[in-house]
Amino acid sequence: MSDFLATENLPDEYQQLVKSVRDFARTVVAPVSAKHDAEHSFPYEVVAGMAEMGLFGLPFPEEFGGMGGDYFALCLALEELGKVDQSVAITLEAGVSLGAMPIFRFGTDEQKKTWLPRLLSGQALGAFGLTEPDCGSDASGTKTTAKLDGDEWVINGAKEFITNSGTDITEIVTVAAVTDTDASGNKSISTIIVPTDTPGFTAGPAYNKVGWNASDTHPLSFSDVRVPRENLLGDKGRGYANFLRILDEGRIAIAALAVGVAQGCVDESVKYANERVAFGRTIGTNQAVSFKIARMQARAYAARTAYYDAAALMLAGKPFKTQASIAKMVSSEAAMDNARDATQIHGGNGFMNDYPVSRHYRDSKILEVGEGTTEVQLMLIARSLGL
């Protein structure tokens, strides 16, 4: 069922990756998912397992300690993890796309040499501080400031909803901050690497969330945080523009994760419908149930096709911004719709945390919000049509 979209037709290296991550998800991740979800605890042992497999280094060159793969390989891994545990999947996605990728894309040779080996090995995690209490989708409203004082940046401000920002192995947060404001009030936003042991940096108490309970998410504060001038990531004033590129790539990864959720809900529903007996027969023999599952499979298939296409364009060096938005939107909606339908198929059991679909139901809503809301994706798609 999980191979409905011709996974077997992928090159051997992709097939082997899918199989290894699928086995890891089923044998290592799944047995502890409910426990970490209930306890709101970060799955350090699972992250260590992913690190040992090289998953944090998948799309990076070997010269920096990566696995020499590509972004599609990361997406395939995220899909398999997403079927079982979204918290684990988003920990990998954010660690790669938001933690390591900005340094790989825009860092100096020295920054890459300093930070990438540990980030790509999974021994350390990085985070990206963009969202603020009064600034969500409108990143141009950033209020956090960074001012030069001699050879140091002095950073003041606050961030919220920052993934991977407060774990025991989090070592850096890349911060988007206003470094200049012109006479018209236009802000120049830059990004600066802040080690988490820097005085004045504080990760607040973890959020009490609806879902993704095993994912690490904190508010951050910066009070006269001083870091060296050379911690500027990329050109001064290009931080926002550079991060938009990172977001475009990340939306493909989130789409892959969401496809995993959509497919996982199908798989669980097929299993349940073939086992659950009501009125003397398995409920899967009823068209009301079988047709619902058929629609769920169609959603997963269509969403997978969308992210495959966006990833192919990206790897070919072609424009993919619109396709990434389409993939992110349809995949996140497929995940939410399939989670709702899977819960309905499970009946009262679907409302119990003993069943994976209940966790998917709670977890999936954020997929329509994070890394660009559905409304932002619609805006970008409409804009590409000249509207």
So which residues are the catalytic ones? 371
Token digits for 263?
């497919």
Q: What are phi and psi of 106, to 5 degrees?
A: -125, -5
Bridge partners of 172? Answer: 126, 195
Strands 170-181 and 152-163: unpaired
DSSP 173-207: EEEEEEEEE-TT--EEEEEEEEETTSTTEEE-PPP
**CA-CA distances (angstroms) from residue 147 to 75, 128, 143, 178, 203?**
38, 19, 12, 8, 21
Considering only CA atoms, which of 130, 155, 152, 151 is closest in space to residue 142? 130
Distance CA 234, CA 245 (A): 13
DSSP 3-state assignment of 113? Answer: helix
Residues 350, 352, 356, 361, CA torsion sign: positive
Distance CA 40, CA 131 (A): 22
Q: CA torsion angle for 374, 379, 384, 387 (degrees, to 10)?
A: 140
Contact 40, 206 (CB under 8 A): yes
SS3 content of the chain, % helix, strand, coil (to 5): 60, 15, 25
DSSP 3-state assignment of 292? Answer: helix
Please give the DSSP secondary-structure letter assigned to residue 132: B
Long-range CB pairs of 87-90, under 8 A, 24+ apart, other chains included = 87/33, 87/36, 87/37, 87/43, 87/212, 87/213, 87/214, 87/215, 87/363, 88/29, 88/33, 88/43, 88/46, 88/47, 88/50, 88/214, 89/257, 89/260, 90/163, 90/212, 90/215, 90/257
